[in-house]
Structure 1
């Protein structure tokens, strides 16, 4: 049942996404036309390096507090005197660097993933109750218009659902916390389920919340056979708008637990808000119930004969003065207990949200201006849900990968379903770019999605009795169609036979980065390495200006050992290089092979490339240079601020004040 379980905790607080925005513009990947101004903040009408060129790629959870816990019997507490977990911190590692937020590609930035993120439950003194490593999964249900009083990134929201792997527990904590005892007894395989919803992000360098946003989350048990990145349950979809219903509700998921007779709705990313804290936009009374007439569409009036109301959803509750919005206090999860008759009815009837609103003109018996209780959002037609996992694939040249497709009807596995697969095809000059820019990059914007014959897969598959089907995809090298970018991006959409695309979020698809073929040279030289390193030096000025300049032969030689370590780490490690995760395995092997050669003493091409720069500096000079660089980094970090949660030191805006150890989120 994933995090939609009677046993769950809710948390809320702040996240930091210190992403580098130089690589948001695909044209910045062209070494031949790259300008130094692309590493600077916007100025006048020039976008330059966009809003955060000095970003580190870090993703952090900051001052996130447990706001409440639910038990297996359905009871709840937000009182820390009744369960010490309430008020504890949900944060990152205290002995590793931060996690990293990574897009698949500059031309496909809608499947962002978190890599190397540790998640811990701790008290204010840092004692850990449990910890686990967040399994990288792509964000889902991206919504660009959630905050009605903002635009761009500030208006957007999304969900990150995954599992925490390798979970370890503190034996003593369970003795004092009923919640931890029940959670540990219920979960399986050293895993926990987690979902985070992010919104209210600030991308203005002059703002005190620069690179910060609001996060609400839920953590619950993981049960065998569950998908890790989505809820295999009930799916709610807007009727026509690609992002939201007539009154502003977007895609969300629910689940019915027949054993406990509980309906869960994940509304963490579903309802419109009016500020960065998640204060709700008032869309009137909102209730949930069962459509006795399964044919009723959105914006149609309901009656006791056609709709069985269960309960009103208290999404507008603000509680006592100064208390956080409902979405923060609950993690956005709403649960209601069903009667046995309702459990039976809901097995083959759609669930719907109902609110006061105008009826669709022409509805029988009402005038065009009538305002009644109408369907605000309902389950997809026939209760169908189709989803794929994993959503993102990285493949080197000629290779093979597979994805599992799941199909369900009203939350139950749907066997024998015919699923159709379609390749999206060529997309011309796709680029998310500001408007008129006198200093715009001059590189040609490439097309993606071609050549289409680089992919081979079946156009249809049938689900097993368990509602699953395996899609096998084989690839061939695309032949460098994007020139200055390695490989090509491909997209495969899926649907049940007869379904419409309208029931899927705009970017619900399988995305692949198929890299170009490459053969590791027998004796790689700086000439082989330079184009790759120069590109990363351009795209990550934080590294090239403050740590190691990858475009400088002498600087690379000085730091060869630490670079070799970073390029030798597993892709899931937070210190993996490159942070973009877009380097093919053969090219990574070439870089490591070359760095090992440099460690042994040499590369004549490297020394020649250094030109007038000193060859290998004397030992004392080398030590002095390293110390000077470390001093400069420390000074920069001290100026930016330091984390109070342990571990890596985040780059905060000067006005940001941590509340860790201070006041709790009410």
Structure 2
């Protein structure tokens, strides 16, 4: 765009929206730039628009050509864990030190969530308590590359909103001045619209767990995945205490966390809670956890 006028590429083309084109090219469209166009891209942003008598812009670069590339977009943490999140800061395709990303606890707005569900999703109560994470400042590693360290602090069940207490964990959404979302002024595009960190409650495990220690955890998972009850109702004490079922659960929960057969498949149970349940199941089987 020059001034207020869109300048189409000489070799630009309409992007087909057919299923066949997507399955063949994965939505990727390429074309050759002229030398003049390549030069102009160093001074102006790219736009994608819907063709018609009045073009409608549907996607655009940051006006200054900035693009932020975070290394990851989700993590799971226990108290005392630290996580270093790497960022690449790129301006018009070149790594640059002229931009410093920030990171803060930032819950998505109702407007942002509303585009995914009707009625809009609600995340009221996420990010509580805000003392759960300590977020550092950006440290430069090399040209256009740096990192921000996040430390997980201890939180208790009593500090959690009621609807998160059964899970004994909290979800934190992190964004910043690079976050491509509502209310951030001129957005800076990113391959990630922020991070989510699942922080597990800090807890001491009982030496000899009983059903009372595990029933809320198992019952919670049985409640949010009711289809599992047709296979194995893990919220039913009698069923769980069946040695055959107990052994099956131990086998699944003892797999490496990235194994496709690992349970729970959501990978949102803390290592401490997983060990608590395994210890209980092993007591059912007559063995002792070491």
Contact 1:383 1:409 in 2 (8 A): yes
* Long gaps (5+) in structure 1: 1-290, 319-323, 359-370, 436-444, 603-666
Match of 2:241 among 557, 561, 572: 557
1:542 is paired with a residue whose SS is helix
Q: For 2:59 and 2:107, locate their aligned partners in 1 and report how far apart those are by CA, in whole Å.
A: 32
Contact 1:426 1:447 in 2 (8 A): no
- How far is 1:392 from its partner? 0.9
Q: For 2:237 and 2:145, locate their aligned partners in 1 and report how far apart those are by CA, in whole Å.
A: 52
- How far is 1:585 from its partner? 0.6
Q: For 1:590 and 1:464, locate their aligned partners in 2 and report how far apart those are by CA, in whole Å.
A: 40
1:14-163 alignment, distance < 5 Å = none
**Residue number in structure 1 paired with 2:213:** 528
Distance 1:376 1:541, change over 3 A: closer
1:474 is paired with a residue whose SS is strand
- How far is 1:407 from its partner? 0.9
Match of 1:482 among 152, 161, 175: 161
**Residue number in structure 2 paired with 1:329:** 24
2:241 is paired with a residue whose SS is helix
* Long gaps (5+) in structure 2: none
- How far is 1:408 from its partner? 0.5
Contact 2:105 2:175 in 1 (8 A): yes
Greater Rg, structure 1 or structure 2? 1
**Residue number in structure 2 paired with 1:310:** 10
Contact 2:11 2:32 in 1 (8 A): no
**Residue number in structure 2 paired with 1:512:** 197
Contact 2:156 2:201 in 1 (8 A): yes
**1:220-279 CA-partner distances (Å, limit 9, x unpaired):** xxxxxxxxxxxxxxxxxxxxxxxxxxxxxxxxxxxxxxxxxxxxxxxxxxxxxxxxxxxx
Equivalenced residue count is: 271
1:132-281 alignment, distance < 5 Å = none
- How far is 1:451 from its partner? 1.7
Match of 2:279 among 569, 585, 593: 593
**Residue number in structure 2 paired with 1:129:** none
Distance 1:527 1:377, change over 3 A: closer
Distance 1:351 1:328, change over 3 A: same
Contact 2:62 2:189 in 1 (8 A): no
Q: For 2:56 and 2:193, locate their aligned partners in 1 and report how far apart those are by CA, in whole Å.
A: 28
1:471 is paired with a residue whose SS is strand
- How far is 1:336 from its partner? 1.0
Distance 1:519 1:355, change over 3 A: closer
Q: For 1:332 and 1:451, locate their aligned partners in 2 and report how far apart those are by CA, in whole Å.
A: 41
Query: Structure 2-normalised TM-score?
Result: 0.78
Contact 1:407 1:467 in 2 (8 A): yes
RMSD after superposition: 3.5
**Residue number in structure 1 paired with 2:91:** 409
Confirm whether residue 468 of structure 1 aligns to residue 134 of structure 2.
no
Q: Larger strand proportion, structure 1 or 2?
A: 1
**Residue number in structure 2 paired with 1:452:** 130
Q: For 2:186 and 2:200, locate their aligned partners in 1 and report how far apart those are by CA, in whole Å.
A: 29
Distance 1:553 1:578, change over 3 A: same
Contact 1:399 1:475 in 2 (8 A): yes
Contact 1:416 1:462 in 2 (8 A): no
- How far is 1:469 from its partner? 1.4
- How far is 1:478 from its partner? 2.5
Q: For 2:133 and 2:233, locate their aligned partners in 1 and report how far apart those are by CA, in whole Å.
A: 37
Confirm whether residue 423 of structure 1 aligns to residue 105 of structure 2.
yes
2:175 is paired with a residue whose SS is strand
1:311 is paired with a residue whose SS is coil
Distance 1:312 1:392, change over 3 A: same
1:589 is paired with a residue whose SS is helix
Q: Larger helix proportion, structure 1 or 2?
A: 2
Contact 1:495 1:501 in 2 (8 A): no
| Divergent runs of 4+, >6 A | 373-376, 425-428, 430-435
1:284-323 alignment, distance < 5 Å = 291=1, 293=2, 296=3, 300-302=4-6, 307=7, 309-316=9-16
Q: For 2:82 and 2:96, locate their aligned partners in 1 and report how far apart those are by CA, in whole Å.
A: 27
Contact 1:414 1:463 in 2 (8 A): no
- How far is 1:374 from its partner? 8.0
